[in-house]
């Protein structure tokens, strides 16, 4: 029987921290499903991405650890995704510890340590700062 793992995120400006998370998540099973935040959902979360959904999806689909990318359109869809995809393990970074424990009735919940000294937010801030400096 296939052991399916699922994780979620925006995956904007993919970096080694994302790759480490995806690799470690995939090591917990035979199949990795990634719920990718849609542009509309990011907007509802007051979050923005440098790349649109289609671009971020194409990048994720090219990563060897990822078997399937699905749209994440709401916080509430997670329980349905677990059921629909036969998920055995739900994985998130440890900065989310405790936030998804409600899924423990449906599957194993694992919070993986983040990769030290790498941050999407810092990368994006540096990019914006560099672009602003270059244009002035």
> Cα-flanking dihedrals φ and ψ of residue 114, to 5°?
-75, 155
Tell me if residue 99 is catalytic. Answer: no
Q: In this structure, how many other beta carbons lie within 10 angstroms of the beta carbon of residue 105?
A: 9
Q: Which two tokens stand for residue 133?
A: 């400096």
Which is catalytic among the residues 44, 45, 83, 99? 45
Distance of CA 96 to the CA centre of its chain: 12
Is residue 72 packed enough to be buried (19+ CB in 10 Å), middle (13-18) or exposed (0-12)? buried
Which is catalytic among the residues 44, 47, 83, 99? 47
Tell me if residue 124 is catalytic. Answer: no
The tally of CA atoms less than 13 A away on the side-chain side of residue 19 is 9
- Which residues belong to the active site? 45, 47
């Amino acid at each position: 029987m296939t052991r399916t793992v699922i994780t979620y995120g925006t995956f904007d400006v993919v970096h080694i921290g994302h790759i480490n998370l995806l690799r470690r998540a995939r090591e917990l099973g035979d199949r990795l499903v990634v719920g990718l935040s849609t542009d509309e959902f990011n907007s509802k979360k007051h979050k923005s991405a440098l790349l649109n959904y289609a671009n971020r999806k194409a990048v994720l689909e090219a990563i060897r650890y990822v078997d399937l990318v699905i749209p994440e359109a709401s916080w509430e869809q997670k329980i349905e995704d677990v059921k629909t995809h036969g998920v055995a393990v739900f994985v998130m970074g440890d900065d989310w510890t405790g936030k998804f424990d409600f899924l423990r009735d449906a599957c194993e919940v694992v919070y993986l340590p983040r990769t030290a000294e790498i941050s999407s937010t810092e990368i994006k801030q540096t990019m914006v700062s560099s672009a602003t400096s270059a244009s002035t």
